[in-house]
Amino acid sequence: MASVPQTAPSKADLGKRFIAAIIDGILAAGVSFIPIVGGIIGGLYILLRDGLELDFMDRRSIGKKLIKLRPVRLDGQPMDPVTSAKRNLPLAVGAVGTIFWIIPFLGWIVAILFGLVGLVIGIIELVLVLTDAEGRRMGDKLAGTKVIEVAE
């Protein structure tokens, strides 16, 4: 479906990426309030959001769709759920921890630890987006992807 255009910008606008990430984070956090399954749904959205072949998403997250960004594979193949999971795995760590909130005491400690690890990974990812010449974060390098701006 979408391939890397010959004239693709080297780095998508950071402000647009930030807004798209906020939108996706709000969506994932919103569903995570649903007891037990919410954390699973939120975590799955974070993982698979860029590879779902749904008409309203077009193989990109809802945030990226609204802000007109697209993650693309460097090999020119269309995004798929496996590539999306590789790309977003570093960002899903914190969301997975919400599952443990239902277990008193020990589960809360585990959830907090997941949250802290997720925060550290998120900071690393942010630094990479800001400092990498192509705006590629750890997840992009793992999956062989980058984010570009598109007209639609």
Pairing label, strands 145-149, 69-73 = antiparallel
Confidence at residue 91, expressed as pLDDT on a 0 to 100 scale: 86
Give 150's DSSP letter. Answer: -
Residue 116 lies in a domain: yes
Confidence at residue 21, expressed as pLDDT on a 0 to 100 scale: 94
Confidence at residue 9, expressed as pLDDT on a 0 to 100 scale: 58
Residue 9 lies in a domain: no
Q: Provide the domain count of the chain.
A: 1
Residue 62 lies in a domain: yes
Residue 6 lies in a domain: no
- At 62, is the secondary structure helix, strand, or coil? helix
Q: Which two tokens stand for residue 1?
A: 């479906």
Residue 5 lies in a domain: no
| Rounded (5°) CA angle 152-19-35 | 110
Q: How far apart (Å, rounded) are the C-alpha atoms in residues 138 and 121? A: 9
Confidence at residue 10, expressed as pLDDT on a 0 to 100 scale: 64
Residue 41 lies in a domain: yes
Confidence at residue 13, expressed as pLDDT on a 0 to 100 scale: 94
Contact 21, 87 (CB under 8 A): no
Q: How far apart (Å, rounded) are the C-alpha atoms in residues 20 and 22? A: 5
Domain extent for 128: 14-149
pLDDT in tens, the chain (152 residues): 555 444 555 689 999 999 999 999 999 889 988 877 887 888 899 999 999 999 999 999 999 999 999 999 999 999 999 999 999 999 888 777 777 888 899 999 999 999 999 999 999 999 999 999 999 999 999 999 999 999 98
Task: Enumerate the β-bridge partners of residue 65.
Answer: none
Residue 3 lies in a domain: no
Q: Which two tokens stand for residue 147?
A: 């984010």
Residue 145 lies in a domain: yes
129, burial (CB in 10 Å: exposed 0-12, middle 13-18, buried 19+): buried
Confidence at residue 8, expressed as pLDDT on a 0 to 100 scale: 53
